[in-house]
């Protein structure tokens, strides 16, 4: 058997699916052939690395959109829209918590978890009120920042490549759609926790997108093609 | 499937279903099998579909994202996949695992999406069958190959779509070739050959990265 005939057998060897007789022959060849030994080692490392690629938590907005579409389907059929049931909200809330926690862990793996607030029943109403006030302030803060970023990005838009500008507009439109969806869900049910989380998630994504846009404008203005290419690569993934 | 799936985080203990009212909606937990969830969904248990989403959305979103390489497109695909799953679960025969059925839906959506995108691109720029492009040469290399997750993700994104689909299902998601073949509607031998091609291409791409 020549080296050309070994790669497939080496792949099967790594998978553990090679019959015994062939396995012995391939192993004997590997002892003699450095190139095939390197191939076997590389394939083993690739296989190992592939197993470390993890599932990715989808943004909560996907669940909200799905929920609305299925509810519309149910309404068409004259059945009860199941998203109105409390347990669905609890489920959606848990999805948001998981996605949010994962996102936080991805951003700062070293950050210690926040301690849950210790509160008796009497204080719960007060705490909820305070959190809602803070959330309103946070939203105002986001909106002000977004308006500023959009102004800067728009004023320097001419230096961007038209194809990149189109892609950026499409990305912003996508995030805007998530914002509109979340707002609509929140308007119809102000206590909808997943909708609120989804809104803030979408707003955060828009801030990051616009910040990247401005950074891109800066790199292109400075003629730093490598830096601009890096940002465009990141934007493609966002 | 040789790898365990992701269980729902923080699952609540499930109260017993009342025998007098089997369609009563109850909280579902991790110890309920997928087929049982499908049965409950058919009987009108409104929690069952949410649990199915919670169990499988992360993996399907990961596959969709790695297939199309764009978060927004992957989100739209995930929504379409689960919408179709919701509409078609009534016809799920239970002959295969629910995960296999969902992955098949997902892969159909992803491949249709990529082909429709490629068709639009080829109309604008002329076609190129990437499956026919030979893989870059892989130097034997005395230097040990280190494979970072980021480099691997980038290299996977460069694979032709057929190889990419088979590689993701077999090497990343941990399905057997028999299952991959069923999901992609190909022969088992084709699955082996696609995964084999994918690994060699990945090696060549990753080796080229090391070289530069």
Q: Give A51-87 pLDDT, tens digit per residue.
A: 999 899 888 888 888 888 888 877 776 655 444 444 4
Mutate to test the interface with A, among B106, B140, B157, B165 (most CBs of A within 10 A): B140
Nearest to A83 by CA among A62, A99, A68: A68
Label residue B81 exposed, middle or buried (CB < 10 Å: 0-12, 13-18, 19+): buried
For B199, the closest of A43, A52, A65 (CB atoms) is A43
Residues of B in contact with A73 (CB under 8 A): 86-87
Q: Is A34 on the interface with B (CB under 8 A)?
A: yes
Rg, C-alpha atoms of chain A: 26
Question: What gap in Å lies between CA B178 and CA B188, rounded to an integer?
Answer: 6
Q: Per-residue pLDDT averaged across A17-38, rounded?
A: 87
CA distance A164 to chain B (A): 15
Question: What gap in Å lies between CA B29 and CA B48, rounded to an integer?
Answer: 10
For A95, the closest of B54, B59, B200 (CB atoms) is B54
Tell me: pLDDT of A154 over 80: no
Q: Give B97-137 pLDDT, tens digit per residue.
A: 899 999 999 999 999 999 887 766 655 544 334 444 444 45
Chain A residues 124-143 within an 8 A CB cutoff of chain B: none
Long-range contacts of B181-187 (CB under 8 A, 24+ apart): B182/B96, B182/B100, B182/B104, B183/B100, B183/B103, B183/B104, B183/B107, B184/B104, B184/B107, B185/B104
pLDDT at B56: 94
Q: Give A172-198 pLDDT, tens digit per residue.
A: 777 778 778 877 877 777 777 777 777
Q: Give B49-68 pLDDT, tens digit per residue.
A: 989 999 999 999 999 999 99
User: Does 1.10.760.10 match the CATH number of domain B139-212?
Assistant: no
Question: What gap in Å lies between CA A84 and CA B47, rounded to an integer?
Answer: 12
Q: Is A214 on the interface with B (CB under 8 A)?
A: no
Cβ contact, residue pair A51, B3, below 8 Å: yes
Tell me: pLDDT of B21 over 60: no
pLDDT band at B3; cut points 50, 70, 90: very low
- Domain boundaries along the sequence of chain B: 1-127, 139-212
Cβ contact, residue pair B25, A85, below 8 Å: yes
Helices (H), chain A: 7-15, 20-32, 34-50, 60-77, 86-107, 121-155, 162-188, 193-221, 225-237
Q: Taking a C-beta distance cutoff of 8 angstroms, is the pair B98, B183 a contact?
A: no
Q: What is the fold, at CATH topology level, of the domain defined by B1-127?
A: Rna Polymerase Sigma Factor; Chain: A (1.10.1740)
The better pLDDT of the pair A163, B136 is held by: A163
For chains A and B, what is the number of CB pairs under 8 angstroms?
129
């Amino acid at each position: 058997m020549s080296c050309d005939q070994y790669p497939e057998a080496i792949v099967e060897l790594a998978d553990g699916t090679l019959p015994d007789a062939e396995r012995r022959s391939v192993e004997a060849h590997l002892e003699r052939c450095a190139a095939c030994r390197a191939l076997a080692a590389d394939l083993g490392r690739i296989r190992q690395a592939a197993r470390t690629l993890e599932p990715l938590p989808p943004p909560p907005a996907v669940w909200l959109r799905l929920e609305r579409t299925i509810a519309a389907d149910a309404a068409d059929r004259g059945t009860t829209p199941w998203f109105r049931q409390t347990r669905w909200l609890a489920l959606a809330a848990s999805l948001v918590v998981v996605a949010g926690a994962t996102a936080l862990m991805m951003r700062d793996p070293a950050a210690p978890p926040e301690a849950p607030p210790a509160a008796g029943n009497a204080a719960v109403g007060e705490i909820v009120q305070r959190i809602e006030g803070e959330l309103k302030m946070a939203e105002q803060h986001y909106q002000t920042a977004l308006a500023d970023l959009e102004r800067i990005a728009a004023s320097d838009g001419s230096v961007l490549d038209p194809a990149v500008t189109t892609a950026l507009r499409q990305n912003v439109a996508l995030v805007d759609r998530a914002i509109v969806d979340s707002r609509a869900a929140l308007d119809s049910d102000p206590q909808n926790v997943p909708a609120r989380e989804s809104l803030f998630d979408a707003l955060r994504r828009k801030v990051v997108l616009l910040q990247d846009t401005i950074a891109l404008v800066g790199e292109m203005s400075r003629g730093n093609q490598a830096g601009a290419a890096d940002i465009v690569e990141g934007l493609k993934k966002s | 499937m040789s790898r365990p799936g992701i269980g729902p985080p923080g699952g609540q203990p499930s109260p017993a279903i009342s025998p007098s009212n089997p369609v009563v909606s109850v909280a579902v937990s991790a110890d309920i099998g997928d087929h049982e969830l499908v049965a409950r969904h058919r009987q009108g248990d409104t929690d069952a579909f949410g649990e199915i989403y919670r169990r499988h959305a992360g993996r399907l979103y990961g596959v969709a994202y790695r297939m199309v390489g764009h978060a927004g497109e992957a989100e739209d695909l995930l929504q379409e996949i689960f919408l179709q799953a919701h509409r078609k679960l009534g016809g799920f025969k239970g002959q295969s695992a629910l995960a296999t059925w969902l992955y098949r839906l997902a892969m159909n959506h992803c491949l249709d999406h990529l082909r429709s995108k490629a068709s639009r691109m080829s109309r604008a720029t002329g076609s190129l069958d990437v499956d026919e492009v030979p893989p870059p040469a892989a130097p034997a290399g005395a230097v040990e190959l280190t494979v970072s997750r980021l480099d691997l993700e980038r290299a996977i994104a460069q694979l032709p779509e057929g190889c990419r689909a088979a590689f993701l299902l077999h090497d990343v998601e941990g399905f057997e070739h028999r299952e991959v073949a069923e999901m992609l509607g190909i022969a088992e031998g084709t699955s082996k050959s696609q995964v084999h091609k994918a690994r060699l291409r990945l090696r060549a791409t990753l080796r080229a990265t090391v070289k530069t």
